[in-house]
Amino acid sequence: MRLALFIGNCTQSYENEVISALHKISRTRRYTLDIFANTVVPDGDYLHIEGLKKVFGLSNVGNYDGIISADDTMHNYDINLDLRKHLRGASCPVVCLRNSVDGCYNVVFDDRQEMYNMTKHIIYDHKCKDIGFVTGTFALDDTTNRLSGYMDAMLEAGLIIDEDTDIFHGNYWNNQGDETAEFFMNREKGLPEAIICSNDYMALALIDSLKKQGIHCPEDVIVTGLDNVPESSENIPMLTTIDFDVTEMCGAAIDIIEQYHVDLTRLKKKKHIRGKCIYRSSCGCMNLNDVLVQNYEMMRDIITEEHNNAVQCVHMNMQFGSVLDMNECVRRALKLFRNTNRYSHIYAILKNQLYAEAEEYKKVSLLETPSKDLEVSTPYPISKARDKQLEGNTNVFFPINCQDELYGYFVLQLKDDIPQYFDVVTAQLLIMVGNTLKKLELLSLQGELEDIKMLYQQDPLTGLYNRRGFENRIRELYETEHGDETTEPENFRVVFSSIDVDGLKTINDNYGHFEGDRAIKAVADCIREVLKENEFAARIGGDEFCATILLQNESDDINEFREKLYDAVHKASSRFTKYSFGVSVGLAEISSYRSILEGMKEADKDMYREKKKHHSKR
């Protein structure tokens, strides 16, 4: 069976839970699951939002046996409304999670009953009578259900609700904390004894905003939420909330799809999932010492994780800042995805064809030659040559876009038993790839890209690489390595050569720098002459060159390059009538990427030993 999931900002904890649960169930039942997703949806950047939407239109909904929509994860900027139009073309069942949508099958939490239970807990266990409420957006059904549960419990207890002063209309997000706090603080009858929020994000934002005003929870006011997101147990105080079993919800969605294909007549349009209240310190139910111990441990983990994410984002900025080639942009992105150890296979789709791919512990493969086998195919939006590789797996499709311009998409094949598949680093990487491709496009249109590439990586006098270009080529040799580069490249040995021109100062002093440049170019030509295919060299200083030699067999002589270069330079020098010049060549074999600097130093030492030999013969 082939299933599709459409989901919004999957860097969030709930979205990650849904993806993990559906991945496990699909793998157990041997189904193919294609996930069409986006990451962070920026406030107010409508062009970027248009670009993110385009990944949902990528799918051919007629090719699936069942579709699951996390509709409420895409309610901002009407993304879900556009998706609903797209899904109308499906001939299979469409199941919506948490949010009831007309014309679909729906798996929803019993929000009303659980919010009723939470409100009763605040009334009877904590003896509160003045209780405020924060709704979500009324575009979603669960908002009405949660508000009704609160009102049912209040009316049953004989407590009066003033809808103008007791109910704040929220938006299910964390950007209204100050506004919510101000609303309740400015009531004529003062701050409520408790405030029940329709989800955790609004509750956590409210607690932070109240804290800035010197109002503490639960000492001054009780605050509760709903959803039990990871942040709720990491907060100080830990948030009292309502938990629903995401795995049960996802299992129910797949059960509906299976039942649809067996006996459609027995299917109900809506299935309810029960939840449970979790009482913690934000309502005063948790022991203070336990709270302090747990919060200390969790805050330490959070700080470490956030620090690591920030460092990764900084490193990515450094890596992409110097990219001046589409191939290099895609290569670096696939390496970064591969090195997270979360994905068994990664594909990059650009120009409507499979452009590159990578597997665990293997080199990134660029597939630049246009081929019908690499074109995007109808059953799967990837390529005719790779359709079979997606079957039976969970494949996540992310857009590669810069604002509303879509360049292509990545396909990430999920491994099993990973705690979290996507995070803020994922979002940053996707944005950086899109922005880099846009930069390259603009430079190319202005006719400047090739000039910048040459200036950035090429020595203008000799046409060899400069130091930066040489270092980039060195890195490519070790691209087969996973994570930290510590092993040798496959199928060959790497030798580093340090080359110094002998006699250049004498030529410059006696005949001028023009003649000195002629000698330097002659040496560069000799180096090109003796290098084999895939070997490369650079000019890294006035009279300094370096070269990388690749030995294919154990029996290859490390000194062969040196002898050939000595011979070539001697012949070239003999053609100059006014003066002569030579070179000194040092060699060192490099055992790993980490030993490159050590190898360069060893080659320099060997070069100076050669230079002494040449001086002693004069």
d(CA 261, CA 270): 17
Q: Residues 398, 55: contact at Cβ < 8 Å?
A: yes
Q: Given pLDDT bands bounded at 50, 70 and 90, which one contains residue 127?
A: very high
Q: Decide which of 154 and 466 is more confident.
A: 154
Tell me what pLDDT residue 485 has.
47
pLDDT score of 433 more than 70: yes
Tell me what pLDDT residue 482 has.
40
- Condensed to tens digits (0 to 9), the pLDDT of residues 176-194 reads 999 999 999 999 999 999 9
Please give the backbone phi and psi of residue 221, each rounded to the nearest 5 degrees, phi first. Answer: -155, 140
Decide: helix, strand or coil at residue 271: strand
Which has the closest alpha carbon to 294: 243, 239, 241, 233? Answer: 233
pLDDT score of 131 more than 50: yes
Q: Residues 249, 97: contact at Cβ < 8 Å?
A: yes
Q: For the ranges 217-231, 374-388, 543-557, which has the lowest average pLDDT? A: 374-388
| DSSP one-letter code for 379 | S
Tell me what pLDDT residue 180 has.
97
Q: Given pLDDT bands bounded at 50, 70 and 90, which one contains residue 484?
A: very low
Q: Residues 243, 214: contact at Cβ < 8 Å?
A: no
Apex CA 152: angle with CA 150 and CA 157, to 5°?
100
pLDDT score of 383 more than 70: no
DSSP codes, 309-353: HHHHHHHHHHHHHT--SHHHHHHHHHHHHHTTT-EEEEEEEETTE
What's the whole-number mean pLDDT along residues 18-37? 96
DSSP codes, 146-204: HHHHHHHHHHHTT----HHHHEEE--SSSS-HHHHHHHHHT-TT-S-SEEEESSHHHHH
Identify the bridge partners of residue 166 per DSSP, sorted by sequence position.
Answer: none
pLDDT score of 421 more than 90: yes
Tell me what pLDDT residue 12 has.
87
Q: Given pLDDT bands bounded at 50, 70 and 90, which one contains residue 549?
A: confident
pLDDT score of 21 more than 50: yes
Which of 247-251, 366-370, 546-550, 597-601 reaches the highest mean pLDDT?
247-251
Residue 399 C-alpha from the chain's centroid: 11
Tell me what pLDDT residue 267 has.
86
Which residue is it, tokens 């290099």? Answer: 328
586: Cβ–Cβ under 8 A, 6 or more apart, which residues? 497, 498, 499, 602, 603, 604, 605, 606, 607, 608, 609, 610
DSSP codes, 542-596: SSEEEEEEEE-STT--TTHHHHHHHHHHHHHHHT-SS---EEEEEEEEE-SGGGH
Identify the bridge partners of residue 494 per DSSP, sorted by sequence position.
Answer: 550, 590
Tell me what pLDDT residue 255 has.
95
Q: Decide which of 217 and 63 is more confident.
A: 217
Give me the percent of the chain exceeding a pLDDT of 90.
55
pLDDT score of 291 more than 80: no
Which residue is it, tokens 């060192």? Answer: 588
State which H helix or E strand residue 7 sits in: strand 2-7
Tell me what pLDDT residue 585 has.
94
Tell me what pLDDT residue 500 has.
93
Tell me what pLDDT residue 491 has.
66
How many Cα neighbours within 13 Å face the side chain of 355? Answer: 19
d(CA 579, CA 507): 7
- Condensed to tens digits (0 to 9), the pLDDT of residues 333-367 reads 999 999 899 999 999 998 888 889 998 878 888 88
Q: Per the structure block, which two tokens stand in for 231?
A: 């942040």
Q: Per the structure block, which two tokens stand in for 511?
A: 């005949």
| DSSP one-letter code for 121 | I
Q: What is the average pLDDT score of the chain?
A: 87
What's the whole-number mean pLDDT along residues 369-396? 73
What's the whole-number mean pLDDT along residues 366-371? 72
Which has the closest alpha carbon to 504: 565, 577, 583, 568? Answer: 583
d(CA 283, CA 235): 13
Q: For the ranges 71-85, 113-127, 600-614, which has the lowest average pLDDT? A: 71-85
Q: What is the pTM of this model?
A: 0.71
Q: Residues 316, 291: contact at Cβ < 8 Å?
A: no
Q: Residues 209, 199: contact at Cβ < 8 Å?
A: no
Decide: helix, strand or coil at residue 87: helix
- Condensed to tens digits (0 to 9), the pLDDT of residues 215-269 reads 999 999 999 999 998 889 888 899 999 999 999 999 999 999 999 999 888 888 9
DSSP codes, 213-249: TT--TTTT-EEE-SS--HHHHHSSSPPBEEEE-HHHH
Give me the percent of the chain exceeding a pLDDT of 70.
90
d(CA 232, CA 226): 9
pLDDT score of 381 more than 70: no
What's the whole-number mean pLDDT along residues 186-207? 96
Tell me what pLDDT residue 486 has.
41
